[in-house]
Structure 1
Amino acid sequence: MSMDMTTVGDTGLLDTLQHEVAVFARRAEQTRLGGVGQVRNSMDRAAYLLLNRLDKEGPMGVKALAASMGIDSSTVTRQVAPLVDTGLVKRTSHPEDGRAVVLQLSPRGQTRLEEVRSSRRQLMAELTQDWAPEEREAFCTLLTRFNSALSARMSAHGVPGPEAQSPAESSTPS
C-alpha cells in the first residue's frame, strides 16, 4: 500500500520525526544506552536480547528461540555460543527428547542480566527524571508502537530484525 505522505501529516513534522529517529539511533550506538556505573556498556545488544528472551519465555531450543525473536537459527547459534562459553546460558537435554538441546539462562546469567537491567533502568530514570509519569508512559507506549510498526514492515519485506545482527556484524555493542 503506497501512501502520499502529505495526506498522512505535515511533511515538516515527518521530516523532524525521521531526523530525530536518526539522531536517536546514532546516540544510542554512541552511548550504547548500556546503563550507568561499572555495568555500563558491559553487555552487547544481541546478548541482552537473547538473555532477556530466555528469562521471559523460559528454556527453549534454538529453533524456538530463533522463531520467537524473528531471526535465523544460525544467527541464534552464533550469538548463543559466547553466552554458553561464559556460563550465562547453559545447554541441557530436552526433557522429552534427550537428543534435542534446550537453552536456558544459568543462575550466573540471571544475576548478570539483572545487573544490566538495573543499570539500564537507572539510566532511563536519569534521562527522564524531569518527565511526568504520564510522559514516560506515553513515550513508552509510542516507542513500543513505533517499534512494532517497524518490525511488521520489515517482516513483510523479508528483512530480519535488529536482533539478527551478530556482534561481529555490529561493530559497537549496545
Structure 2
Amino acid sequence: MPTQSDMTTQLDTGVLDTLQHQVAVFARRAEQTRLGGVGQARNSMDRAAYLLLNRLDQEGPMGVKALAGSMGIDSSTVTRQVAPLVDSGMVKRTSHPEDGRAVVLQLSPRGKARLEEVRSSRRDLMARVTGDWTAEERDIFCDLLTRFNVALSAAHATVPQAAPAT
C-alpha cells in the first residue's frame, strides 16, 4: 500500500503547491470579509454564530453535546459560542420534551429572521462573485468545494494531534 509520501510524489507537486496556496488565500479572504454578504447585513454575524444558527435551523432543537458532535467541535466551545446567541435572543434554552431535566438549544423566531437576513446577504455576495460563471461552473465548484471540505474534515479527524508543550 502506498504511503502518503508516495502519493504526494505521484501527484503534480506544482498543482499541490498552487492548491495549498489558493486555500490559504481563500482562508484569508474569507476571514477578511467573513463572507459577510453585501448591504446592511455585511459582516454582521461571525462565522461561529452563523454555523451554530444554521445547524439549529437545519437539524432542529438539540442539546449542547449533540450540537458539538454534529459540528465536530468540543462541547465547551459550543457552550461559549452559544452564550451570546442566547443573551441576544437568537437562541432559546428550553427543556427537552422527553426529559425535562435536560436542556436543548432552539433557534428563536428572532434568530431565524436574523439568519435569513444574513443568508440573503451572503447569497447576494455569492451571486456577485460568480456572476460571470455558468450554472454548470457554479454546480461543479459547489460539488468540488463540498468534497474538499468533507475530505479535509476526515483528514483532520484522523491526523494525530500534537501533545501540548510542557
What TM-score comes out, normalization by structure 1 length?
0.88
The equivalences for 1:60-139 within 5 A come to 60-139=62-141
- 1:6 equivalent to 2:36? Answer no
**Cross-structure match for 2:52:** 50
Cα distance, 1:91 vs structure 2: 0.4
- 1:21 equivalent to 2:20? Answer no
Cα distance, 1:158 vs structure 2: 5.3
* Counterpart-to-counterpart distance in 2, 1:132 and 1:158: 40
Percent of aligned positions that are identical = 80
* Counterpart-to-counterpart distance in 1, 2:40 and 2:48: 20
Partner amino acid for 1:79? Q
SS at match of 2:106: strand
- RMSD in angstroms over aligned alpha carbons? 1.1
Provide closer, same or farther for how the CA distance between residues 73 and 20 of structure 1 changes in structure 2, counting only shifts above 3 A.
same
The equivalences for 1:30-45 within 5 A come to 30-45=32-47
Counting matched residue pairs gives 158
* Counterpart-to-counterpart distance in 1, 2:124 and 2:138: 14
SS at match of 2:92: strand
List runs of 5+ in structure 2 lacking aligned partners. 162-166
Cα distance, 1:10 vs structure 2: 1.4
* Counterpart-to-counterpart distance in 1, 2:29 and 2:69: 29
SS at match of 1:3: helix
Cα distance, 1:6 vs structure 2: 2.4
Partner amino acid for 2:75? S
Partner amino acid for 2:118? V
The structure whose Rg is larger is 2
What TM-score comes out, normalization by structure 2 length?
0.92
User: Relative contact order: is structure 1 or structure 2 higher (C-alpha 8 Å, sep ≥ 6)?
Assistant: 1
Provide closer, same or farther for how the CA distance between residues 128 and 65 of structure 1 changes in structure 2, counting only shifts above 3 A.
same
Provide closer, same or farther for how the CA distance between residues 158 and 112 of structure 1 changes in structure 2, counting only shifts above 3 A.
farther
List runs of 5+ in structure 1 lacking aligned partners. 160-174
* Counterpart-to-counterpart distance in 2, 1:130 and 1:114: 25
Q: Deviations over 1:28-61 (max 9, x none)?
A: 1112211000100000000000000000000011
